[in-house]
Amino acid sequence: MPKQVPAYGAPSAKAALIPFPIERRDPEPHDLEIGILYCGICHSDLHKVANDWGNTHFPVVPGHEIVGKVISRGSDATAFREGDLVGIGCIVDSCRVCRECRAGHEMFCEKGVTFSFDSFDTKRKSWTCGGYSAEIVVDERYVLRIPHGLDPARAAPLLCAGITTFSPLRQFGCKAGDRVAVVGLGGLGHMAVKFASSMGAEVTVLSTSPKKEGDALRLGAKHFVVTTEEGALNPLEGAIDLILDTVSGPHDLDRQATLLDSFGTMVLVGLPPAGANVDASALVHGNRRVAGSNIGGIRETQEMLDYSGRQAIVADIEQIRVDQLNEAYQRMLRDDVRYRFVVDLSTLHS
């Protein structure tokens, strides 16, 4: 019998989040039943609730930065034990056998990946519900191990903000001495600063918020530039090897591209609702490159978690109760978060 568990979600586009029960399936042989402790709030949750990308299926229960404890295991689930501290990110299923799955790029599964929320699970013929809920049932192949010593609430944002910034730094070979610019100091941006500086890069934060300077330097940046100040970007022209753009709203990519040194790369990870243009000449002169990067696969997510365990890297968070979710969404839209909200799911029961 599927189990009813309490959850928070949005009944329709731009509606306030409200409590309602959802169903979790009976654990299948390879499944883990997980009691959710904490879930981070990613700006993608906000885009989904606002239907910014035009593809949300309502009602939606967001949440894909999940940390919890194993409650029970299916008969063939052997990788974890009851009580283990585990993580679930954006991906909860894929075909496992296609070229992309075998390469560890499950997010590009040729048969279609199943995301942890607002994704149609073709095996179970139902829409997935995410981490703003008391429990979740996931095949253990998609469950991550949280290293000992990391605070569970502060580790939750690693499951999306962490892997989404770690992966492009790895893909583009970030190393000691590289000049890395992080655009936007939000949930993703602050993780990007921590990871890039831990790899020895000289990090510059490009921000629209002058008040974030002290935080940027504390997080590991060497330089801080307020992009909205007249002429502020001029000294940076041609002075950056890798730009990591984490911005959630419309902004000027053309100008940003001119900051790259020759053969430098601007990686887009932010997903603003409206498209942006890049002028060909900004790229052609200097052999500059523009790239995109989508989260990261399961294997790389575990590598990122293990790296974070060794380096003691976790998110800077503000912990909230479930009844503060709507306020947290409003604050994120006003850019008022330092630097990730994490919801404590034990407050679902109180």
> Is 199 a residue that touches Zn ion (CB under 5 A)?
no
CB of 171 to ligand NAP, least distance (A): 12
154: enclosing H helix or E strand = helix 152-155
When asked if residue 192 is in the footprint of Zn ion (CB under 5 A), the reply is no
Q: Is 208 in the site for ligand NAP (CB under 6 A)?
A: yes
Nearer to ligand NAP, 32 or 342 (CB): 342
Of the candidates 140, 144, 118, 141, the residue with the CA atom closest to the CA atom of residue 130: 118
Spatial CB neighbours of 302, under 8 Å, sequence gap ≥ 6: 144, 145
- Identify residues 237-276 at the interface with Zn ion (CB under 5 A): none
Site map 288..307 versus ligand NAP, x via CB under 6 A: -----xxx------------
**DSSP per residue over 207-266, as a string?**
ES-GGGHHHHHHHT-SEEEETTSTTTTGGGTT-EEEEEE---S---HHHHHTTEEEEEEE
Stretch that binds Zn ion, among 44-52, 196-204, 233-241, 334-342 (CB under 5 A): 44-52
According to CB under 6 A, which one of 88, 201, 260, 332 is a site residue for ligand NAP? 332
- Closest residue to ligand NAP, judged by C-beta, is 186
Residue whose CB is less far from ligand NAP, 77 or 181: 181
Q: How many angstroms separate the Cα of 74 from the Cα of each of 33, 36, 80, 88, 298? A: 8, 18, 11, 17, 20
When binding is defined by CB under 5 A, the residue of 5, 60, 109, 268 that contacts Zn ion is 109
Which CB, 224 or 341, lies closer to Zn ion?
A: 341
Partner interacting with residue 184 (select from Zn ion, ligand NAP, none; CB below 5-8 Å by kind): ligand NAP
Structure tokens that stand for 140 in this block: 């253990």
Nearer to Zn ion, 24 or 105 (CB): 105
Contacted entry of ligand NAP, Zn ion, none for residue 95, CB cut-off 5 to 8 Å set by kind: Zn ion
Q: How far from 209 is each of 111, 192, 206, 216, CA to CA, in Å? A: 42, 17, 9, 11
> How many Å apart are CA 302 and CA 267, to the nearest integer?
22
- The yes or no reply on residue 271 touching ligand NAP (CB under 6 A) is yes
Q: Is 247 a residue that touches ligand NAP (CB under 6 A)?
A: yes
Contact 139, 123 (CB under 8 A): no
Contacts of 54 (CB under 8 A, 6+ apart): none
Residue 312's Cβ-count burial label (10 Å; 0-12, 13-18, 19+) is exposed
What is the SS3 assignment for 60?
Answer: strand
Interface with ligand NAP by CB under 6 A: which residues? 42-44, 47, 160-161, 164, 184-189, 207-209, 212, 246-251, 269-272, 293-295, 332, 335, 337
Interface with Zn ion by CB under 5 A: which residues? 42, 44, 94-95, 98, 101, 109, 160
